[in-house]
């Protein structure tokens, strides 16, 4: 697995890769949804947007979680599931994210250590700016 590179860039030296930041390598944040959205609606949004994750925000528009298609499918297939389950009810509370100034090397290390397929990039005000993803 290596970090996705979203824009073509000239070949760089290893020193450049160490100093590249999350802001340099991130994808656009993609769909951002409210935490009161139901699991079914979130799955529909994912399907329409052709994405495997959604950035979840609270009522103030601040980043709270990143949910994946796999997580939503597991919740939906669980015995306690009802069509009233909201994203805020299933948030893992992990709270993992990277600052735009985090180096790509640091972000990749954190993602591998925590076994994350994607890591939101969040500014100092709590706004989701983008997402870093590991490619397979």
pLDDT tens readout for residues 4-39 = 333 334 444 455 556 889 888 888 877 899 999 999
Query: What is the residue extent of each domain of the chain?
Result: 2-135
Superfamily for 2-135? Answer: CBS-domain (3.10.580.10)
Taking residues 48-71, what's their average pLDDT? Answer: 91
**Pairing between β-strand 32-34 and β-strand 53-57 as defined by DSSP bridges:** parallel
Distance in Å from the first CA to the final CA of the chain: 5
pTM of the model: 0.75
The average confidence (pLDDT) of the chain is: 83
- Angstrom CA distances, 94 to 16, 32, 97, 114, stand at 30, 18, 9, 10
Q: Which residues are paired to 120 by β-bridges?
A: 131
Q: Which two tokens stand for residue 111?
A: 């993602």
């Amino acid at each position: 697995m290596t970090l996705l590179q979203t824009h073509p860039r000239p070949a760089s030296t290893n020193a450049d890769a160490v100093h590249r930041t999350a802001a340099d390598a991130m994808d656009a944040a993609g769909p951002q949804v409210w935490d009161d959205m139901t699991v079914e609606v979130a799955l529909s949004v994912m399907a329409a947007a052709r994405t495997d994750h959604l950035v979840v925000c609270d009522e103030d528009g601040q980043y709270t979680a990143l949910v994946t298609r796999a997580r939503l499918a597991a919740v939906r297939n669980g015995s306690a599931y009802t069509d009233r389950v909201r994203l805020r009810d299933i948030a893992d509370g992990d709270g993992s994210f990277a600052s735009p100034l985090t180096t790509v090397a640091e972000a990749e290390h954190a993602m591998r250590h925590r076994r994350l397929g994607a890591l939101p990039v969040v500014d100092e005000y709590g706004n989701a700016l983008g997402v870093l993803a590991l490619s397979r």
